[in-house]
Amino acid sequence: MTEDHRFQMRTPLGRVRHLGSAHHGTRAFWHQRLTAVANVPLTIAVIVIVMGLLGRNHAAVVQILGSTLVAITMLLFIVTSVYHMWIGMQVIVEDYVHDETWKLVTLMLNTFFCFAVGLAAVFAILKLSFGL
Amino acid sequence: MAEAKATRLRERPLSPHLQIYKPLLTMMMSIVHRITGGALFFGMLLLVWWLIAAAAGPNAYAQVQWFMETLVGRLILFGYTWALIHHMLGGIKHLVWDLGYGFGPVEREWLTVATLVGSIGFTILIWIVGYLVMGGLR
């Protein structure tokens, strides 16, 4: 806390209760755009990869998905997408869920869902790559 | 304190919401952008199921393949494709707007129509190419 306290508009009690701005708003906004830009080429790449796998048997799919370049592309897509949808769903929840308890619960569920889905996908891709 | 609570409980006038405005294409597409985003959030489950099945083995992968070839599976995949493309094109439109371009009365309509026409066109194109890759309808 390097804030100049002469210009503090908030009361000490207000600060203790974390009332006021969390100062995270612009970071979420920026990260949403950052992942959006990253996702444009990555989404196109993933569509091409998935289309190349259509109708192929399991052995061929494992071989292609596990190859280095494809695996790295898939990993990048998963990480940026999951982060992007985590921020997006948080915005949706904050817009529509007004009850404080439910807001807290849904925000937590959003985080749990994104972590679980992201980790599962990353694990699957790494497993395909390392052939365990 | 009691007074503050009573004030909060009293019905307060709210600012007008969506239903009061005439539906405009830009506004409708803004809503669609959010809906497709929400759909893609849950659609990620489908992608993860496919990846985990591939990592699990031939039997699990055969189950995914079976489901994707049912009518329901095909419809979900088609919707997923459109939602993904539409959200991507809508996102590019929003990035253009974020940079401060395309706000004129002609440009904003043109951009919005382009995202809709583009998403439908690309989705159909992807599916045609997809069926060609698989060697015909099935």
- For residue A46, give the CATH number of its domain: 1.20.1300.10
User: Cα separations (Å) of A83 from A36, A56, A94?
Assistant: 10, 30, 17
Cα Rg for chain A, rounded, in angstroms? 21
pTM equals 0.85
For residue A58, being part of any structural domain is answered with yes
H-type helices in A1-99, by residue range? 12-16, 25-53, 58-66, 68-96
Q: Do B135 and A55 touch (CB under 8 A)?
A: yes
Using a CB–CB cutoff of 8 Å, tell me whether A32 touches chain B: no
B12-51: pLDDT as tens digits: 777 777 778 888 899 999 999 999 999 999 999 999 999 9
Using a CB–CB cutoff of 8 Å, tell me whether A58 touches chain B: yes
For residue A28, being part of any structural domain is answered with yes
* Contact call for residues A51 and B133 (beta carbons, < 8 A): yes
For residue A19, being part of any structural domain is answered with no
Of B44, B91, B98, the CB nearest to A85: B44
User: Cα separations (Å) of B117 from A47, A56, B34, B86, B137?
Assistant: 19, 31, 18, 9, 25
* Contact call for residues A39 and A80 (beta carbons, < 8 A): yes
Number of domains making up chain A: 1
H-type helices in B57-104, by residue range? 58-69, 71-98
Tell me which residue of B4, B9, B87, B5 sits closest to B41, measured CA to CA.
B87
3-state class of B29 per DSSP?
helix
Question: What pLDDT shows up at residue B19?
Answer: 77
Cβ neighbours of residue A80 under 8 Å, at least 6 residues apart? A35, A38, A39, A42
For residue A12, being part of any structural domain is answered with no
Residue owning tokens 């405005």:
B21
A68-93: pLDDT as tens digits: 999 999 999 999 999 999 999 999 99
Going by the DSSP 8-state scheme, the letter that residue B11 receives in this structure is: P
List of chain A residues whose C-beta atoms are within 8 Å of the C-beta of residue B130: 51, 54
> Going from the N-terminus, what domains does chain B have, and what CATH number goes with each?
26-133 (1.20.1300.10)
Of A33, A59, A88, the CB nearest to B41: A88
Low-confidence stretches of chain B (pLDDT beneath 70):
1-9, 137-138
Q: Do B134 and A58 touch (CB under 8 A)?
A: no
User: Cα separations (Å) of B91 from B28, B36, B37, B83, B96?
Assistant: 15, 11, 10, 12, 9
More confident: A3 or B85: B85
Q: Do A88 and B37 touch (CB under 8 A)?
A: yes
* pLDDT above 50 for A127: yes
For residue A79, being part of any structural domain is answered with yes
Chain A nearest-CA residue for B69: A55
For residue A18, being part of any structural domain is answered with no
For residue A69, being part of any structural domain is answered with yes
Structural domain boundaries, residue A108? 24-130
For residue A8, being part of any structural domain is answered with no
ipTM of the complex: 0.86
